[in-house]
Amino acid sequence: MKKVSLVAAFLAAVLLFATLASAHFGMVIPSNQMVMGDDKRSVDLTLSFSHPFEMVGMDLVLPKEFFVMSQGGKQDITSSLVSTKVMDGQAWKTSFALARPGIYNFVMEPHLYWEPAEDCYIKHITKTVVAAFGDEEGWDEELGLETEIVPLSRPFGLYAGNVFQGIVKMNGDAVPFAEVEVEYYNLDKSKKIINDYMITQVVKADENGVFTYAAPGPGWWGFAALNEADYTVKHGDEEKPLELGAVIWVYFHKF
């Protein structure tokens, strides 16, 4: 019996350790986050679902909705998406013309993803912010998403080492002590780790839903605030929980 208990404990530990390295991230990555007057007057966007540090892609079905919010208006651009591959996984891409100066919030709402290992559904509502032609008014606006990270730090024009702050919200309300996973997009696979604990950084929001993170190096960093929805989703004959992820991608520049 003692030997069986030790084996069971070992397997549980292995499972826990494997879970540490399995953070999923919705990804919306633009070709340029700060478009200036002498730049191309459009931005290319790539949508995917992956483990960004480990560079392990997953298949993303055509999103339920992909839209841009700017100057107080919303434009659905889902129909412009074309198939592509990211990290060998099914992904999507498009190009969007920037007609005038301003802040452009690009938002992906995916279909629900069933994760058998966690016995739950996952939906990562993912956004990124593009600033165009010198106008930055409204970078801190709340978009009214089911869940979102509302930036307190300007989400562009950041140097590596700067802190990024945001408020985690669900249905318009701040989420006290929300857990936020942070991961680096290891695009060229140059970054190495000492162990699996280092793949996904974890910070916790305060009682007002505010979190803070200082990016140690340049590149794209994803922030995912994960909370369980207050409703369930049917899977076969059973009701299953839904993990709602509020995800934002921010680029930090080398100083």
Nearest-CA neighbor of 161 among 99, 253, 230, 46? 253
Angle at 25 (CA atoms; ends 131, 220), nearest 5 degrees: 40
Band (19; pLDDT cuts 50, 70, 90): very low
pLDDT of residue 22: 55
Q: Per-residue pLDDT tens for 26-62?
A: 999 999 999 998 899 999 999 999 999 999 999 999 9
Neighbours of 136 (CB within 10 A): 16
pLDDT of residue 24: 85
Q: Return d(Cα 149, Cα 168) in angstroms, integer.
A: 5
Give me the sign of the Cα torsion angle 58, 246, 151, 107: positive
Nearest-CA neighbor of 244 among 182, 169, 155? 169
Band (163; pLDDT cuts 50, 70, 90): very high
pLDDT of residue 14: 39
Q: Return d(Cα 201, Cα 183) in angstroms, integer.
A: 6
Listed by start position, the domains of the chain span 25-253
Could you tell me where the DSSP H helices lie in the chain? 2-20
pTM for the model stands at: 0.90
The architecture that CATH gives domain 25-253 is Sandwich (2.60)
Q: Provide Rg for the chain, Cα atoms.
A: 19
